[in-house]
C-alpha cells in the first residue's frame, strides 16, 4: 500500500477518548528530558532507583518521582529482588519510537 493510502486509512478512523488521552500522556512523558534520559538508560538494561540516580547524576527522589509517572503509563515495569526494585522498559513500541527520534535528532 502506498503512503498516501496508508495515511487515508489512518485518517478514516476516529480516535476514542481513552486512546487520545494515552497518546497525549505518552508524548508528555517523552517531552521531558529527565524521563527521556531514564528511558534511554533502561533501553539497555534494568537498574535500581539508586543505579539510575548514580548513572544520570540525579537525586533519588527525582528518579522515584519520574519512575512513578512512567510506571503509571506502563512505560516501565519493575521486579523485586529482596528489598530492591529493579526497573526496565515495558513498551517496545515506545522504546523504538524513542530510539528512532534520538537517531533522527543525531543526524544534524
The pTM score is 0.80
pLDDT of residue 9: 60
The stretches in the chain having pLDDT less than 70 are 1-12, 108
pLDDT of residue 88: 96
Q: Outline where DSSP puts E strands in 35-106.
A: 47-48, 76-81, 84-89
pLDDT of residue 5: 65
CA distance 73 to 16: 17
pLDDT of residue 15: 87
Amino acid at each position: 500500500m502506498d503512503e498516501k493510502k496508508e495515511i487515508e486509512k489512518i485518517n478514516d478512523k476516529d480516535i476514542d477518548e481513552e486512546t487520545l488521552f494515552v497518546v497525549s500522556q505518552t508524548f508528555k512523558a517523552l517531552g521531558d528530558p529527565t524521563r527521556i534520559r531514564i528511558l534511554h538508560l533502561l533501553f539497555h538494561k534494568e537498574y535500581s532507583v539508586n543505579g539510575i540516580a548514580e548513572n544520570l547524576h540525579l537525586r533519588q527522589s527525582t528518579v522515584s518521582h519520574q519512575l512513578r509517572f512512567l510506571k503509571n503509563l506502563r512505560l516501565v515495569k519493575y521486579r523485586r529482588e529482596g528489598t530492591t526494585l529493579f526497573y526496565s522498559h515495558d513498551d517496545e513500541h515506545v522504546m523504538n519510537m524513542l530510539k528512532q527520534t534520538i537517531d533522527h535528532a543525531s543526524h544534524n
